[in-house]
Structure 1
């Protein structure tokens, strides 16, 4: 099943998908903001010139757009399972919104069940029309190749990176409260969240970078990678539009820098598979990540 997140897959890159997929309806509906007990407000500025925060559902899964204030939501493991590691989880959405349930809350719960403290980052994104009807018309227009005001940025917005930087610092500063090893705070991101994860790993000062990263279905183009870049775990499906022929530059960049990298290319699963698509090998990727993390913990 192709999932239509608020992302490039639903906009400019739709033309690369089969005609039958393009004809599927956009199953978005307005939703009430959930009550999130324990949510932490990060010390970054509120969004300016942005419509009010708006929640919606896509085939039942919660998403959010026009994020006003960056927050963290902790998902802590049982004490008897805790490894001492933490992962900042950044949902995707093309920096136009966040697929915060299936690429955030669901992933964080699964990590916590495996002993890893997880923190879902609700980061600031680009503004979209306040009116839900207008927002939907713009989404449909972009999906059909018509003019639209919704455009996926070429690079990580500065305010999104600022939120990730603050989140990493907050988790480290309060690590003792949660039984977290401050030297083992990593970051995992999906689609645009993967882009944010890579930007944090490559652009932040060395002492502020995540200790390890897991970009899941990221943009696979080459990067300038420093000699002290974090170890990286990558997962993507071969039928993802970001896996065009010759796009293994990201992996090659880590190789050239002589940095640890593990790469999982799944036969199928499309873009936006979240915790995995039943009936495909993507369904087991999180356990692969945990095994990789366990091995790297032993080596350090």
Structure 2
């Protein structure tokens, strides 16, 4: 074998090992709230990468160069109506942008509630989100980040998951697994991008509610997952983005959340664009909504220290 071929093979193996080391399993052994099934995870690429029927929830780690890092970190929850994950569109592409701002990013591949491998559908995404935030905080020194500067960002249904984490972080969703579960799951801030917030009729995104809660959810479950009802003074500082002409997830979701946050004295900023529709990611092709990324970075620097980890 020629030297050049051998060298190329070694480089390929090294790069493969490096990439694999950037994806970590959330659960070391048994995944809570799971059962054996013949279901297989599906990854499709049709313009964007869509992942469905998630079997093994993971965090994909994206770190800026050490000399560029500012100590902040974001766990990213891609959207997809709780039916798929728009994994690059609202996940890995966002992580790379955050790295360019000195922010560590962790893309959460969370279980989807209608998977045959899930026992209680509505619990699985939140269980994974809680574990993800704890995992990042527990390993803060390893990732060169501050334990009190770890937030969550979610898009559409991922925004619902992020806001559920921000309003339900103290709840016991699974039996403690290891030392990671000794740290807090409270995000230090939330960024909710065209988010589903409420599960109430006339406000919610019907597909997201159906996938999370089923066809005929009880009033109790609807209220439990309507996160505008769960805001308290301890809810993390929150940044909200929405478009008025969003025909998939009504802008009322962000408006209700903003009102609840302000009523409880939570440090909050919201931007409502007149046009932009839904699912615009960076918004490069949608009027002027692409300014949200600059607005978010400015807001991140404005959060008062008193709103750090409680």
Distance 1:93 1:218 in 2: 11
Distance 2:145 2:276 in 1: 33
1:231 to 2:237 alignment = yes
TM-superposed deviation, 1:156: 8.1
**Structure 1 residues 282 and 244: CA distance shift in structure 2, 3 A:** closer
Q: What CA RMSD, in Å, does the superposition of the two structures yield over aligned residues?
A: 2.3
TM-superposed deviation, 1:126: 3.0
**Structure 1 residues 297 and 63: CA distance shift in structure 2, 3 A:** farther
Distance 1:94 1:201 in 2: 19
Match of 1:133 in 2: none
Q: Structure 2: where are the runs of 5+ without partners?
A: 1-15, 172-183, 199-227
- Scaled by the length of structure 1, the TM-score of the pair is 0.74
Match of 2:96 in 1: 109
Say if 1:201 and 1:209, in contact at 8 Å, map to a contact too: yes
Out of 62, 73, 76, the position equivalent to 1:86 is 73
Q: Structure 1: where are the runs of 5+ without partners?
A: 1-34, 130-154
Displacement over 6 Å in runs of 4+: none
TM-superposed deviation, 1:269: 1.4
Moved more, 276-285 or 43-52: 43-52
- Scaled by the length of structure 2, the TM-score of the pair is 0.72
Distance 2:89 2:45 in 1: 11
DSSP-derived class of the 2:111 partner: coil
Match of 2:196 in 1: 219
Out of 249, 253, 278, the position equivalent to 2:256 is 249
1:73 to 2:60 alignment = yes
Q: For each residue in 1:177-230, what CA deviation from the matched residue of structure 2 results, as whole angstroms up to 9, or x when unmatched?
A: 111101111000011110000110111119421110011111254323111110
Distance 1:81 1:252 in 2: 36
Q: For each residue in 1:209-258, what CA deviation from the matched residue of structure 2 results, as whole angstroms up to 9, or x when unmatched?
A: 11100111112543231111100001111111223569721110001101
Matched residues, number: 240
Higher-Rg structure is 2
Match of 2:187 in 1: 210
Larger relative contact order (CA 8 Å, sep ≥ 6): 1
Out of 244, 268, 271, the position equivalent to 1:264 is 271
TM-superposed deviation, 1:163: 0.5
